[in-house]
Amino acid sequence: MTENRPFRNAPLRDRMWHGAPRRPDAGARDRGRTAAASGPFTQTVDGRLGIVRPGGRLTAQAGELLRETVEALHGSGHTRVRLDLGGLDGADDGGLDALCALQSSTAAPGRSLVVVRRVEPVD
C-alpha cells in the first residue's frame, strides 16, 4: 500500500484485521519462540437467520468451505447472509484471498454478504 493513498480507499484485504500472529524472525527460531497455534477451523450455521460463525484459523481450504456454506444459504432463499468473524483466531494470506473472493462473488442483484466482527462486552 502506498503512503499517499488513504486507508479507506485501500483494498479490502489491506483494511481487514486478521489477527494473524507475527512470523518469527530467524533469531526468534533460535531462541525457541514460535507463533501460537490456533484450533481447527469450525463453522456454526444458523440456517433460520442466515448467519455463519466461523472459528479457528481461516486458510484457503477453510475459505472454500465458507464459500460453499454461504452459497448454500443463498440457494435456500436467504438474500442477506451475515458472516460473523468474531470467532476467528487468525487468517493466512490464502484465507484472506478467499474471503475477498467470497465478498466479490456474492455481489449480485438481490444477494448480499454482511461481514461483521462481533465483540464481546467487557465487564
Regarding pTM above 0.75, the answer is no
Under the banding of pLDDT at 50, 70 and 90, the label for residue 20 is very low
Fill in the amino acid letter for 15: R
- List the CATH number of the domain containing 101: 3.30.750.24
Number of domains in the chain: 1
Domain membership of residue 104 as a residue range: 45-118
Burial degree of 60 (CB within 10 A; 0-12, 13-18, 19+): middle
pLDDT digits (tens, 9 = 90+) for 55-73: 999 999 999 999 999 999 9
**Within-domain flag for 95:** yes
* Structural domain contains residue 97: yes
50 within some domain: yes
Cell numbers found for residue 12? 479490502
Q: Does residue 39 belong to any structural domain of this protein?
A: no
